[in-house]
Amino acid sequence: MMAWLSSAVRDAAVKALESISGRVHPRMIDLYGRAVQQDARTRNPLIVIPGVMGTRLKDRASGRPLWGGDYKSGFADPGDEEQMRGVTVPMELGTPLESLVGSADPDGTIDALRVNVAGLPVQVSAYASLLRVLGAGGYWAADRRDERAWNFLNYGPESLTTSFQFDYDWRLTVPENARRLGRLVEQVIAFASSETGCSRPMKVDVVAHSLGGLVLRWYLRYGGQGSSGQQGERPELTWEGASKVEHAIMIATPNAGSVRVMEKLLRGLPASPAMPAYDPAYLGTMPGLYQLMPRVRHGQALHGGEVLDDLYTSERWAQMGWGLASPRADGVLRQLLPGRGQADRRRTALEHLDKCLLEAERVHAALDVAAEPPAGVVKHLFAGDGAATHQAAELTDKRPYYRVVAKGNGDRTVLRSSALMDERASIDPNYPRLLTPIRWDSVMFLPTDHLGLTSHPIFVNNVLYVLLEKPRPDCDFRLPPVVIPPRRGVGMSRNAGGERGGAEAR
Determine the Cα–Cα distance for residues 234 and 371; give it in Å rounded to an integer: 14
Please check whether residue 486 lies inside any domain of the structure: no
String of DSSP letters for 141-193: ESSTT-TTS-EEE---TTS---EEE----TTS-HHHHHHHHHHHHHHHHHHHH
- Domains identified in the chain, total number: 1
> What pLDDT does residue 135 have?
56
pLDDT greater than 70 at residue 190 = yes
Please check whether residue 506 lies inside any domain of the structure: no
Please name every residue paired with 116 in a beta bridge, in sequence order, or none if there are none: 121
- Exposure letters 66-105 (e unless 16+ CB within 10 A, then b): bbbbeebebbbebeeeebbbbbbbbbeeeeebeebebbbb
For the chain, the helix, strand and coil percentages under 3-state DSSP, each to the nearest 5: 35, 20, 45
Please check whether residue 457 lies inside any domain of the structure: yes
**Coil, strand or helix: which one is 302?**
strand
Please check whether residue 382 lies inside any domain of the structure: yes
Q: Summarize pLDDT for 130-160 with one digit per residue, the tens.
A: 766 665 322 233 433 333 333 433 333 334 4
CATH, residue 50: 3.40.50.1820
> What pLDDT does residue 194 have?
81
Compute the mean pLDDT over every residue in the chain, rounded to the nearest whole number: 84
Among 131-145, 196-210, 386-400, name the most confident range.
386-400
Please check whether residue 494 lies inside any domain of the structure: no
Determine the Cα–Cα distance for residues 235 and 228; give it in Å rounded to an integer: 5
Please check whether residue 504 lies inside any domain of the structure: no
> What pLDDT does residue 39 have?
59
pLDDT greater than 60 at residue 343 = yes
**Maximum CA pair distance of the chain?**
112
Quick check: pTM over 0.85? yes
Question: How many CB atoms are located within 10 Å of the residue 252 CB?
Answer: 31
> What pLDDT does residue 82 have?
97
Domain assignment of residue 129, given as a range: 7-469
pLDDT band at 461 (very low <50, low <70, confident <90, very high): confident
Contacts of 175 (CB under 8 A, 6+ apart): 98, 218, 222, 224, 225, 226, 227, 235, 363
Average pLDDT value for residue range 395-400:
96
Contacts of 415 (CB under 8 A, 6+ apart): 254, 256, 258, 389, 390, 391, 408, 409
pLDDT band at 426 (very low <50, low <70, confident <90, very high): very high
